[in-house]
């Protein structure tokens, strides 16, 4: 990890711009194509990319499964769940407190906890681990929503957009120097989610 704070700021701005374009696109498959292209460009060329500097010249880009609308959900957040608190150690943000603020039920797949990143500014965080983890996808799991970092697919607490085609591995999947919050039991599905970004080649 050799990126500067200004590089990280620019990375987050570009990620936020990318997701803004995704939310504005009415054709979900086209939105996904834009996301794949934008994420590939950032991973391959940006100074704050989690891909190690020495590997970027030979990096072929992320492997992403074809879009499957069956894995796109617009679901309410159950905000009546009992509160929980976790503390996650990260490489860039120190110890990050996470507070459970709800739970999503994804038809045919199961439930995922919704976390609030309880630091300055805050944000919604929904990580995911499933039957593909450690096989087709990163063993530590993937992120679906991380609004602090700009990964926001839109919606409201009554109709939150949770599109698993946009699941992506955290930075530690690319470089062990990173420390990332990973999914716990409440964010683990027994079934497979074969869409989204797959394991780095």
Concatenated DSSP letters of 129-152: B-TTBTTTB-TT-EEEEEGGGTB-
Pick the range with the lowest mean pLDDT from 120-124, 151-155, 195-199.
120-124
What average pLDDT score do residues 130-158 get?
A: 96
Task: State the average pLDDT for the chain.
Answer: 93
C-alpha to C-alpha distance for 36 and 180, rounded to whole angstroms? 22
Q: Do the Cβ atoms of 103 and 113 come closer than 8 Å?
A: yes
> Where is pLDDT greater, at 61 or 194?
194
What average pLDDT score do residues 22-47 get?
A: 96
What average pLDDT score do residues 34-38 get?
A: 98
Sign of CA dihedral 158, 190, 69, 136: positive
Can you give the pLDDT at residue 201? Answer: 57
The alpha carbon of residue 22 and the mean position of all alpha carbons in its chain are separated, in whole angstroms, by 14
Contacts with 122 (C-beta within 8 Å, 6 or more apart), sequence order: 116, 148
Can you give the pLDDT at residue 3? Answer: 59
Can you give the pLDDT at residue 92? Answer: 62
**Maximum mean pLDDT: which of 3-7, 92-96, 114-118:** 114-118
Can you give the pLDDT at residue 57? Answer: 87
What percent of the chain has a predicted confidence (pLDDT) above 70?
95
Q: Indicate the DSSP class of residue 64.
A: B
Nearest to 144 by CA among 125, 158, 157: 125
């Amino acid at each position: 990890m050799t990126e500067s704070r200004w590089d990280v700021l620019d990375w987050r701005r570009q990620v936020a711009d990318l997701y803004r374009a995704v939310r504005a696109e009415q054709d979900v498959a086209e939105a996904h194509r834009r996301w794949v292209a934008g994420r590939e460009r950032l991973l391959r060329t940006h100074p704050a990319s989690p891909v190690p500097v020495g590997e970027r010249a030979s990096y072929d880009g992320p492997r992403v499964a074809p879009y499957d609308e069956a894995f796109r959900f617009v679901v309410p957040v159950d905000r009546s769940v009992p509160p929980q608190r976790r503390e996650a150690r990260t490489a860039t943000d120190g110890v990050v407190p996470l507070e459970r603020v709800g739970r999503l039920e994804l038809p045919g797949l199961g439930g995922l906890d919704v976390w609030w990143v309880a630091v300055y500014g805050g944000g919604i965080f929904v990580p995911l681990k499933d039957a593909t983890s450690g096989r087709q996808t990163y063993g530590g799991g993937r992120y679906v929503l991380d609004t602090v970092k700009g990964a926001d697919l839109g919606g409201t607490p009554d109709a939150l957009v949770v599109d698993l085609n946009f699941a992506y591995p955290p930075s530690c999947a690319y470089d062990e120097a990173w420390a990332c919050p990973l999914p716990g039991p409440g964010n683990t599905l027994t079934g497979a989610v074969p869409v989204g970004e797959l394991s780095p080649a």
